[in-house]
Amino acid sequence: MSSSKGLAILVTLWAGLAVGVTASVSAETPLETQPEAEIATRPVETGVLSMRRSKSRSDDVGGRLATSAGILEFSTLSRKGAKNAAVGENPDAVIVSLEVNGAEIRHAFDYATGTVTITTANGVRLGRQELDLFASFQPAIAKHLDSLNLESMSSAQDAIWRLSEMYSEAPLNHTLEKSWVIERTPPQTEPNPIDTLFDAKPATGDEIVGSLAKACAGESHNSFTDLHDGHDVCRSDLAFSKNAGHDYCQGPGALHGYLLTNQRYGCSSSQCYGRCGGGCGLDGRGAWMHDCLRHDICNRSHNGNGCDDEWREAADDYLNGPIHCTIRGCHT
């Protein structure tokens, strides 16, 4: 069985599980109009953002966002060895505190190891009010940073921006545990092996069943693949597409196991598929990663429900992915 554009394959597996596959191989094509899933968006309240510089001689920042959903306060602490980092100095670590409606979420960025450790006192559940706050926080921070040179942002500003992007797409009612260590996945040129099963050869039943079982058990492969490699995702006049899959084994009306589809991504796609953050953000500026594409597909196919594992698998991409489109945005 060979792959061809537009060919849809449905393989029924034991225990009532199924894998749906749209097999296609495409790199760069003239822009075409293609139907894409749109997530039903809630109105985003502007809110009132106040920013402040740290009183110490450093690049640290802090501030407060107030909306009808509550209050989000944030601050950073940049460290160089055993001391606070000076202005313009590259820190070894940045600690970011986000206090959302009174609940603190602490983020420790360790730049030597590439890990980010998220800690809470007793776990924090991200309910509707918290997500509405984060939805307002993302564009508010973006608007503030838009007046700066993104190429020369401090590590503290970069950390705040990345967290605003990550939490703007957090799943409803997701609970952050007391400690979550996000490790930077080694850079890869190839995504999850199952995402390429149909690119070169037909997959065997055992390969599909094994990959599906891992996906539904929350053990699907975590990649660190830059979508900008070899493809200028900042070009809005070119269409790029690739295979990307997600699983939806649990959640409201769970309909399938591992679903592999061929998805257009980049600035030419609706709402910037593949960008790590809600929508196009600062006109496409940000990380563009394979795991974020997988999350976008799941999130927009299921209206933001049941995509917790895709969001967590993309966490290292949100927080460590290379930033693109800083000079040329999607529409500039």
Q: Which of 141, 163, 182 is the last residue of a domain?
A: 182
| Residue that is written with structure tokens 């029924």 in the block | 12
First to last CA, the chain: 43
Q: pLDDT tens digits, residue range 28-83?
A: 433 333 345 444 456 677 788 988 876 668 899 999 999 999 999 999 999 999 99
Taking all residues of the chain, what is their mean pLDDT, rounded to a whole number?
78
Q: Taking residues 185-190, report their average pLDDT.
A: 62
Q: Are residues 222 and 320 in the same domain?
A: yes
Q: Do residues 205 and 244 both lie within one domain?
A: yes
Task: Give me Rg for the CA atoms of the chain.
Answer: 20
What value, to the nearest 5°, has the Cα angle with vertex 308 and ends 303 and 312? 130
**What is the per-residue pLDDT across 266-318, written as a single tens digit (0 to 9) for each?**
999 988 999 999 999 888 999 999 999 989 988 887 776 778 888 999 999 99
pLDDT of residue 41: 57
For residues 193 and 147, membership in a common domain is answered with: no
Does 331 map to a domain? no
What domain count does the chain have?
A: 2
Angle at 299 between CA 174 and CA 110, to 5 degrees: 55
Residue after which a domain boundary falls, among 182, 206, 231: 182
Angle between helices 155-167 and 128-145 (to 10 degrees): 140
Any domain includes 40 = no
Per-range mean pLDDT, top range of 16-25, 106-115, 147-156: 106-115
274 vs 267: CA distance, rounded Å: 9
Torsion, CA 185, CA 190, CA 193, CA 199, rounded to 10:
160
3 state SS of 17 = coil
Q: Do 76 and 116 share a domain, yes or no?
A: yes
Considering only 34-38, 94-98, 278-282, 323-327, which range has the smallest mean pLDDT? Answer: 34-38
Report how far residue 86's alpha carbon sits from residue 251's, in angstroms, rounded to the nearest whole number.
Answer: 47
d(C-alpha 55, C-alpha 33), whole Å = 52
* Calpha distance 254→247 (Å, rounded): 9
Domain that holds residue 128: 48-182
Q: Are residues 102 and 170 in the same domain?
A: yes
Q: Is residue 249 classed as helix, strand or coil in its secondary structure?
A: coil
Percentage of the chain beyond pLDDT 70 is: 70
One domain for residues 202 and 89: no
Q: What is the pLDDT of residue 7?
A: 26
Q: Which helix (H) or strand (E) holds 104?
A: strand 103-110
Residue for token pair 């009183």: 55
Q: Which residue has the tokens 């809600």?
A: 278
pTM of model > 0.85? no
Rounded-to-integer distance, Cα 45 and Cα 132, Å: 8
At residue 164, does pLDDT exceed 90? yes
More confident call, 199 vs 263: 263
3-class DSSP state for residue 171? coil
- pLDDT bin (cut points 50, 70, 90) of residue 157 is very high
Per DSSP, 60 falls in state -
In a domain, 162, yes or no: yes
| Residue 1 located in a structural domain | no
On whether the CB atoms of residues 59 and 85 are closer than 8 A, the answer is yes
Is residue 230 classed exposed, middle or buried when 0-12, 13-18 and 19+ CB atoms within 10 A define those classes? exposed
Judged by DSSP in three states, 332 sits in coil
Select from 152, 182, 212 the last residue of a domain.
182
Q: Which residues pair with 80 in a beta bridge?
A: 83
Looking at this protein, which amino acid is placed at residue 147? S
Work out the average pLDDT over 3-14: 28
Mean pLDDT of 192-212: 50
Q: What is the pLDDT of residue 195?
A: 53
